[in-house]
Homo-oligomer: A and B are copies of this chain.
Amino acid sequence: MTNETIATAAETAHRELWYPEREDITIYGILAALSDPTRLEIVRTLARHEERCPFDFLDITSKQNLTHHFKVLREAGLIKSRYEGRKKFVWLRRDVLDELFPGLLDGVLGALDATSEPRP
């Protein structure tokens, strides 16, 4: 309600993004956001990079769909983004996540790595 209003207004203004309040970040939202293969792959790749990544650093789906998934990740509290010129950069909110849900991200990413094929 209030959140939605703010989000809509800010996003219509373009180049201004809404983020959830710290107390509105839930473990359910995080887990739901991570339960999609595309998004989990995004998060996994972001976690491997110290620096911010360009919006389309992964070529795994359509542009519109990437926008959608990044929005889900952002509204769940997992990522932050910023525009620089025409480009958009994205990064993981490790600080907040590790503080709110210690061990969660490491547990998920660790299990994911243990599952995946060994990388070269």
Contacts and interface: CB of A to CB of B under 8 A. Distances in A.
Contacts of A10: none
Given A28-B36, A114-B101, A106 B107 contact: yes
B31 A31 contact: yes
A45 to B, nearest CB: 16
**Interface range on chain A: under 10, 10 to 19, 20 to 34, or 35 or more?**
20 to 34
B27 A111 contact: yes
A40 to B, nearest CB: 7
Number of copies of this protein chain within its complex: 2
A47 to B, nearest CB: 14
A37 interface: yes
Contact of A112 (B27, B29, B35): B27
Contacts of A36: 28
Q: Which 5 A-B pairs have the closest CB atoms?
A: A107-B107, A104-B111, A101-B111, A31-B35, A32-B35
